[in-house]
Structure 1
Amino acid sequence: MKKTILFALIWVAAVACDQKQEAAPQSELKSTSIPYRQLTTVATSGDNLKVELREVNDSRCPKNVVCIHMGSAQVKFNVSDGTNQTDVNLTFKGDKNADFQTFALSGVNYVIRVSEILPYPDTTQSPKLEDYKVNVTIEKK
Structure 2
Amino acid sequence: MKNLIFSFIVLSIFVFGCEKKSETKTTNYDFEINTSKSIGASTLVLKSISDSRCPINADCIGAGGAKAYFKLTANNIDQEIILCKGDCGTLASVANIKINGIDYSLKLIDITPYPQLQKRNVTQTVKVELTRT
1:33 to 17, 21, 30: 30
- Residue 55 of structure 2 corresponds to residue 62 of structure 1: yes
Q: Residues 73-84 of structure 1 correspond to what in structure 2 (within 5 A)? A: 73-81=66-74, 84=77
Gaps of 5+ in 1: 1-23
TM-score by length of 1: 0.62
- Specify whether residues 137 and 61 from structure 1 end up closer, same or farther in structure 2 by C-alpha distance, changes over 3 A only: same
Percent identical pairs in the alignment equals 20
Structure-2 residue corresponding to 1:123: 117
RMSD over aligned Cα atoms:
2.9
State the alpha-carbon separation in 1 of the partners of residues 43 and 129 from structure 2: 12
State the alpha-carbon separation in 2 of the partners of residues 65 and 115 from structure 1: 23
State the alpha-carbon separation in 2 of the partners of residues 85 and 105 from structure 1: 12
1:101 to 95, 101, 105: 95
State the alpha-carbon separation in 1 of the partners of residues 60 and 23 from structure 2: 37
The amino acid across from 1:41 in the alignment is S
Contact persistence 1:119–1:127 (CA under 8 A): no
Contact persistence 1:60–1:71 (CA under 8 A): yes
State the alpha-carbon separation in 1 of the partners of residues 28 and 52 from structure 2: 23
> How many residue pairs get matched?
110
State the alpha-carbon separation in 2 of the partners of residues 34 and 125 from structure 1: 20
Structure with the bigger percentage of strand? 2
Contact persistence 1:50–1:81 (CA under 8 A): yes
State the alpha-carbon separation in 2 of the partners of residues 139 and 32 from structure 1: 11
Structure-2 residue corresponding to 1:5: none
- Specify whether residues 27 and 104 from structure 1 end up closer, same or farther in structure 2 by C-alpha distance, changes over 3 A only: closer
- Specify whether residues 109 and 54 from structure 1 end up closer, same or farther in structure 2 by C-alpha distance, changes over 3 A only: same
The amino acid across from 1:32 in the alignment is Y
Per-residue CA deviations over 1:83-111 (Å, capped at 9, x if unaligned) read 544221122228xxx52122334444321
The amino acid across from 1:87 in the alignment is E
